[in-house]
Structure 1
Amino acid sequence: MTEVLLIVGLLVAAFVGYNIGGATTGPAFGPAVGANVITKLMAAGLMSIFFFLGAITIGPQVVTTLGSDLVHTTAIFTLKANVAVLFFIGGALFLGNYAGVPASTSMTAVGAISALGVATGELNFAVLGEIVVWWIVAPIIGFWVSGVVGRYFYPRINAWIAIEGSRDGEPMIAIDWRGAVPRFQFGGSGTRREITGSFVVVGIGCLMAFSSGTSNIANAIAPIYGTGQVPMTPLIVIGSAAVAVGCFTIARRTMETLGNDITNLPLTAAIVVAVVASAIVIVLSAIGIPASFVIIATMSIIGLGWGRATRTTTLSDARRGEETRVSVGALTAEEEGEQAPEIGEEEPEDIPKASDLFDPSTTARVILMQNVVPIIATVGAFLTFEYVPIFGF
């Protein structure tokens, strides 16, 4: 019976890893894919590689501490309980991925484990409270920092970087496999600044993938490792392989949502989002908080799109001698055929439509699902551990 439960536990852990790949690839490489810097296939490959590197190097530390800080005793992590926890984590994440919305793996995992702690009376509320506070504060910081950049500094940054995503439908960075040695191919204008910017946004995506591996691998394998029946390294390999499968399959939906549906991201915007989200995730990791990687990146994308759509400028009326402050979105809502006024140093044809920069309906769907998914895992796990007698709690 124990062997059967262990096999089931490993399969459920792999299912969790599969959904982690689907949930985290979008925030890491959605900007680069949305800006048409790399293809979804290349994004999946890079995510798989750097996730594994993070998991095999720093990941073991997170795996060994995930169950010890949040609960008072690890005795509650029985094999039956671990299978149930992983089932609710994987099932809830699958719902989010199926809807094309990447949910927070950390929030979902912590919610399910906390439910087990509440049902057994072993939850450390002080640690949980500290984590939740940062989960609330960090996305708000990401939204407003990105919003301020989009509203006040984006045109200046864009002029300084002076690069755009590929407009001919071809990715800006591709690999030519035809020769004996693979070579990079560059689309767009091929200028040095454009190529450098492309590598920057891809590099930051790789950094985010590495960070995801350091923390999210624990969400898939920590409960199984806590039983002491499987060594650490084989579990990391199994979990990372499952993540890779998710990267190449279901992650395509979340990359589409974060790269195209919420906001239309040129390469400059992709770099801004990646820098803001990466900085916040790194700071939280440094102080020992399990970062809600997906939520921070998503809110940064939303904040930048909102900031760009609501950017204001001063228009002068020479006949009346008046100046009026209006938003970029209001200017672009004029009927076709009317001459669009110049905005500062921008050309009229470069003024983006508000609907192209920020989609409120998609944003609402993303925020709703990212809160619903952890709630489903938490409530489902609590009801199971509290009222199903086979767990013996």
Structure 2
Amino acid sequence: MAEVLLVVGVVVAMFVAYNIGGSTTGPAFGPAVGAKAISKPVAAGLMGLFFFVGAWTIGRNVVTKLGTELVVDPGVFTLESSIAVLFFIGIALLVGNIFGVPASTSMTAVGAIAGLGLAGNVLDLAVMGEIVIWWVVSPIVGFWVSLIIGRYFYARFNRMVAMERSTGPLLDVDRSGPIPIPRVHETTNRRELVGTITVVAIGCLMAFSSGTSNIANAVAPLVGSGELAMDPAIILGGIAVTIGAFTIARRTLDTMGSDITELPLTAAIVVASVSSALVVFLSMLGIPASFVIIATMSIVGLGWGRATRPVTVPEAVRKEKAPPVTIDALAADEPGEELPPIGEEDPDKIPQASDLFNPATTARVVLMQNVVPAIATLGAYLTFRFVPIFGI
């Protein structure tokens, strides 16, 4: 019976990892695929590779935190309870997909495990408090870092990475020798090459950061139960993520690739860099992080910083001018354009076409990112507290 339950647990864990691969490949490599820098199969392969590297290295910290440190008695992770926790994580993915909002699997995993710990009176409140504090602090840090970049460095960065596509292919393959050697095509310009390398590198960084944080969402309960060792758990999770990247992620790659014009490529690179760096940092501390919430606040901070360039700090403090936050504010700087000093930029050069972020949509994202984990916590608590089969 135990062997059957273990197989069921592994299948459920791989299903969760499969969905993680499907939902995170698009945000990571959508810009690169949309810019025709790489193909979908190459994006899926890179996703699987860098996710596994992140999981195998830093991701162990988060698996340990969720699987053994969040509860004072890891024995509470029986096979039955581990499967139930993974079930709640899977339900969170389903709810997020139904509402069109990517639910945070990290926050939901913590919520489900916290519900288990509360039901068994074994939740480590100090560890839980540390996680919650970082959940509050990290989006604020992302907002301010992005705001500073938007205000002082965005225009310069935009001129560096703005891609000017040439008519020919990016690379040629020299097959004259025994080993094919890729070479830069003669029509490829330097800006195009730098931009392409940058957007692909950012995708790899996002895949790596996803591995450092999200692997725990799929395997931590089974590792905490002692029924599955760390190394095979990470390998199985990595395989499932790769399968998801090659299959169901194709649709998210289409969506992210075609919708990237809603967020300029330069802005997408900045947001992805700031968010990924914060997620990797938190993973090194063993803290599971919500990439979506951090990225959302980074977008708001970046747009706000860019829109405040016509306003000096004293003017902003005195509220003499109300800075607009627009998509065009991020896209206004053209390559080669000289940037006037802070406070001297013409506000008319920043068109008021449309808001960078829709307040209603932003509120829905943030609300769902907190409601779904709360539902998982309450559902897990009630299940483990009142369903006799778990014996908590």
TM-score, normalised to structure 2, is: 0.79
Match of 2:211 in 1: 213
Q: Does 1:387 align with 2:386?
A: yes
- Aligned partners of 1:56 and 1:184: how far apart in 2? 32
Percent identity (aligned): 61
| 1:50 matches 2:47 | no
Question: How far does residue 205 in structure 1 lie from its aligned partner after superposition?
Answer: 2.3
Contact conserved, 1:313 with 1:326, CA < 8 A, in 2? no
Match in the other structure for 1:301: 299
- The AA in structure 2 aligned to 1:293 is F
1:313 and 2:304 matched:
no
Task: Extract unaligned runs of 5+ from structure 2.
Answer: 312-319, 330-336
1:192 to 2:190 alignment: yes
Residue 279 of structure 2 aligns to a residue in which SS? helix
Corresponding residue of 2:332? none
For the residues of structure 1 that align with 2:296 and 2:116, how far apart are their CA atoms?
28
Residue equivalent to 1:369: 368
CA distance in 1, matches of 2:363, 2:172: 37
Number of the residue aligned with 1:86: 86
Inter-partner Cα distance in structure 1 for 2:374 and 2:259: 24
Which residue of 1 is the match for residue 20 of structure 2?
20
Which is further off, 15-24 or 178-187?
178-187
Match of 2:278 in 1: 280
Counterpart Cα distance in 2 of 1:101 and 1:391: 31
| Shift in CA distance, 129/175, structure 1 to aligned 2, threshold 3 Å | farther
Taking structure 1 as reference, are residues 252 and 374 closer, same or farther at Cα in structure 2, changes over 3 Å only?
farther
Cα deviation for residue 139 of structure 1 reads: 1.1
> Can you list the C-alpha shifts for 1:87-128, whole angstroms capped at 9, x where unaligned?
001121232245443332221111111110000000001110
Opposite residue 3 of structure 1, the aligned amino acid is: E
| Per-residue CA distance 1:226-270 (angstroms, 9 max, x = gap) | 333344433322211221233234445655676665972333223
1:143 corresponding residue in structure 2: 143
Partner Cα separation in structure 2 for residue 207 and residue 186 of structure 1: 26
Report the AA paired with residue 50 of structure 2: F
- Identify if the C-alpha distance between structure 1 residues 348 and 114 changes in structure 2 by more than 3 Å, giving closer, same or farther: closer
Computed over aligned residues only, the root mean square deviation of the Cα atoms, in angstroms, reads 3.9
CA contact (8 A) 1:225 1:235 kept: yes
Q: Which moved more, 1:106-115 or 1:196-205?
A: 196-205
Q: Is the 8 A contact 2:55 2:211 kept in 1?
A: yes
Find the residue that maps to 1:71 and give its secondary structure: coil
1:271 to 265, 269, 272: 269
- Letter in structure 2 aligned against 1:229: E
**Structure 1 partner of 2:199:** 201
Please give the TM-score of this superposition, normalised by the length of structure 1: 0.79
Match of 2:289 in 1: 291
Change (3 A) 1:11 1:350: farther
Paired AA for residue 366 in structure 1: V
Question: Deviation per CA, 1:2-60, whole angstroms, max 9, x where unpaired?
Answer: 22222221111111112222343344334545666445544333111111122234444
CA distance in 2, matches of 1:175, 1:125: 57
Check whether the contact 2:70–2:114 (CA below 8 A) recurs between aligned residues.
yes
Residues 42, 304 of structure 1: alpha-carbon distance in 2 compared, 3 angstrom cutoff: farther
Q: Distance in 2 between matches of 1:142 and 1:306?
A: 13
Aligned residues: 371
DSSP 3-state at the match of 2:262: coil
Using the TM superposition, give the Cα deviation of residue 374 of structure 1 relative to its aligned residue in structure 2, in angstroms: 1.8
